[in-house]
Structure 1
């Protein structure tokens, strides 16, 4: 249709909007849905790349055709008027995280990175404020332009690091795992933006006399307190369980000494190994959770140290529980008569292991994997894998 009538590229509807205005507000239209769970997860990890799928979406093709026609048919002044009226769709797209839409436009017309809104903020400022990492990462491809953009301030003298220090909109908050994942991401954002700032601007005060660091502490005080309370509550509960496991293992070990003659050499080795692993892992888990309770809970501790401790503590707690159950099944099977009831250990093992396996799978995914992924795997602001949109 666009090939037959190029005037559609600049045509406006009853609200005065062009097709680009509409497309800017539809970020989901630029992504192909995958029915496969594995493909969906894999593509989610590539959201910082220019083409998240090997096949381009119809919305992206349409945007490319419309933008190409606009740049050919209109002078620069009219192009600026088109993107500014009736609404400034560049900043709407940045607010909604419509990365592919912005990437396509900037690739063909790099001067768009200079555009500012009524607050003197570029699309990178808006991306930081709304925590869209893929859009913000484009700033690394702007060369010397980046050094200028990073000095921009709004009417209250807030620079881009001040924006990184403020809380994002509520719909961008992540309450999972007691909110510590969100606090961790907030710290990552602040450190990533600070890393590219000039030192003088990183310490510059706004109209309220606050440096970015001061503003971050003020804005995230509640989040920090909630994270501390959640960590202490979780560590206390887990430490009680690990202490109970340690007590049970030690009691079982002393009891086994009195019945050592009942064991065969093989069963003796199995029980010794299971009980030793359970004792060591429960002891390690107890010490790790105790170290969490005695931590200072500084802001930067939530970046890596506290999540790592929690990962180690919960993982060793699961190992301890599994080893103790293995020892219990082994001890139970040894105590049974040789000539009968051979089915009892198998039935007992299934009755205990199946619920435990379900708990481990759920908890391991919801807690351990999310912490590990957030701490060590998913780092969209690490600077790796840049988009190369402007120079591809």
Structure 2
């Protein structure tokens, strides 16, 4: 086997370098236990296991390496640079295939990129972010340059989503306000109170109309705030995902409440025969369709929730086709 020298260490594709590049934690852990010095192995470009883990977006493996006693004792391995002077933060700043992150590509891929960059930045010394590489570029400069196109695409998707959701929220708010002002069955001419005020369905109608009106207004305000914000890189770490998640949740609640409001109000206007032979089957079919469509959208919603509450970005692995 041919060896190349870089900084006094051999450069080759050793088993631990291959394991780290492919995210095999078990193999990397066993190798470090039996051969602690392999932490200094480097490939043909001068990258050690830390740099390779960051370059290949192996977030779970990088997190594992940070917790290893080897890495705490060997500060040199954590803050090593490759032959181009790139530190781990330089490599984290470069735009890679964001489809590897455990989040739909249409749902704020910038969020994982910013979170990954910040996570690596916090694990290194403070002066690393200001250290330039061989071409005199700092990690912040590399991140801004390589993510410029992705930022524009994400802004376009965000604006389109906010416009669509704002229209739906405004429509629900209008209908909810009209529903709250129109009492099913009318009011008693003598007392001015609703005729069906003691019916359970009327209580559902009143409460759901109020919930639909309030949640739709909240959703409308949140999406308006997103539309008018500048959305810089740092905003995609917490602010934008939090507001988007809050706005989508409020919108979904308003849609469900509006449907309950309509069904309960409609239920009061029918006689017993129509209620149980015509209306109830239609209600059941409607809820089944809504449940089916909602279940299809839940993975994207939960992916956004995971993205918001996980400090370490999660990566997905695709099996190669046979």
The alignment's TM-score, normalised by the length of structure 1, stands at: 0.70
Structure-2 separation of matches of 1:192 and 1:342: 57
**Aligned CA distance change for structure 1 residues 188 and 290 (closer, same or farther; 3 Å):** same
Contact 2:202/2:268 (CA < 8 Å) preserved in 1?
no
The answer to whether the 8 Å contact 1:130/1:172 transfers is no
Counterpart-to-counterpart distance in 1, 2:48 and 2:285: 60
Alpha-carbon distance between aligned partners in 2 of 1:340 and 1:124, rounded to the nearest angstrom: 69
The within-5 A match list for 1:88-99 is 88-99=14-25
Aligned length: 298
For the Cα contact (< 8 Å) 2:85–2:133, is it kept in 1?
Answer: yes
Question: Which residue in 1 is equivalent to 2:4?
Answer: none
Consecutive unaligned residues of structure 1, counting only runs of 5 or more, are 1-15, 17-79, 383-392
1:166 to 81, 85, 94: 94
Separation of aligned partners in 2, 1:186 and 1:259: 56
Aligned in 2, Cα 1:264/1:314: closer, same or farther, shift over 3 Å? same
- The superposition leaves residues 170-193 of structure 1 with CA deviations (integer Å, 9 ceiling, x where unpaired) of 77356715151x322222221122
How do residues 29-40 of structure 1 correspond to structure 2 at under 5 angstroms? Answer: none
Give the SS at the match of 2:106: helix
Q: How does 1:236-275 map to 2 (within 5 A)?
A: 236-256=163-183, 259-261=186-188, 262-266=195-199, 267-275=201-209
Picking from 48, 52, 55, the partner of 1:122 is 48
Structure 2 stretches lacking a partner, 5+ long: 2-8, 189-194, 315-322
Q: Distance in 2 between matches of 1:136 and 1:152?
A: 14
For 2:57, the equivalent position in structure 1 comes to 131
Structure 1 distance, partners of 2:277, 2:129, is: 69
- Deviations, residues 228-280 of structure 1 (Å, cap 9, x unaligned): 11111111111100100111111222232782345242233221111111111
Write the distance in 2 (CA, Å) between the matches of 1:106 and 1:368: 38
For 1:346, the equivalent position in structure 2 comes to 280
Residue 111 of structure 1, CA deviation: 1.0
- 8 Å CA contact 2:115, 2:312 repeated in 1: no
What SS class does the counterpart of residue 256 from structure 1 fall into?
coil
- Distance in 2 separating the partners of 1:243 and 1:337: 33
Output one character per residue of 1:14-44: Cα deviation in whole Å (capped at 9) or x when no partner: xx9xxxxxxxxxxxxxxxxxxxxxxxxxxxx
Which range is displaced more, 140-149 or 320-329?
140-149
In 2, distance between residues paired with 1:194 and 1:281?
38
